[in-house]
Amino acid sequence: MNDLRKSAFSFQRGTRKTAEQDKQELLAEIRLAHSQWKTAQHHFEHALEKDEIDYAIYAVEAAEKRYEMLLRQAKKLNVTSAYHITAEVRG
């Protein structure tokens, strides 16, 4: 999160977050994005109709992009976790 957006977000909430809280929130977002990606993959594997398959492909691609974006952000901020920062990031 860039500084301007981060301070605007903190201002809206009425509290100032510490860097550690930001890191923990980012890690939580990464865990959620990973779970959503795995769920989308599962739906793709079990899709039967053409429309279901099309939607599943879209959902997998969107979830994967979000997960990769969050991993890049964590890498940029040197946020690490033994649990999730293990996948290679494209690009």
The predicted-structure confidence for 43-86, as pLDDT tens digits, reads as follows 999 999 999 999 999 999 999 999 999 999 999 988 887 554 44
Two tokens, residue 51: 């429309």
Question: Lowest-pLDDT range, 8-17, 27-36, 56-65?
Answer: 8-17
Map out the domains of the chain as residue ranges.
19-77
Two tokens, residue 68: 């990769």
Contact by Cβ (8 Å): 35, 64: no
Other residues' Cβ atoms within 10 Å of the Cβ of residue 25: 12
Instruction: Write down the pTM of the prediction.
Output: 0.68
Is the four-CA dihedral 37, 41, 43, 49 of positive or negative sign? positive
Other residues' Cβ atoms within 10 Å of the Cβ of residue 81: 14
CA-closest candidate to residue 5, choices 58, 63, 73 = 73
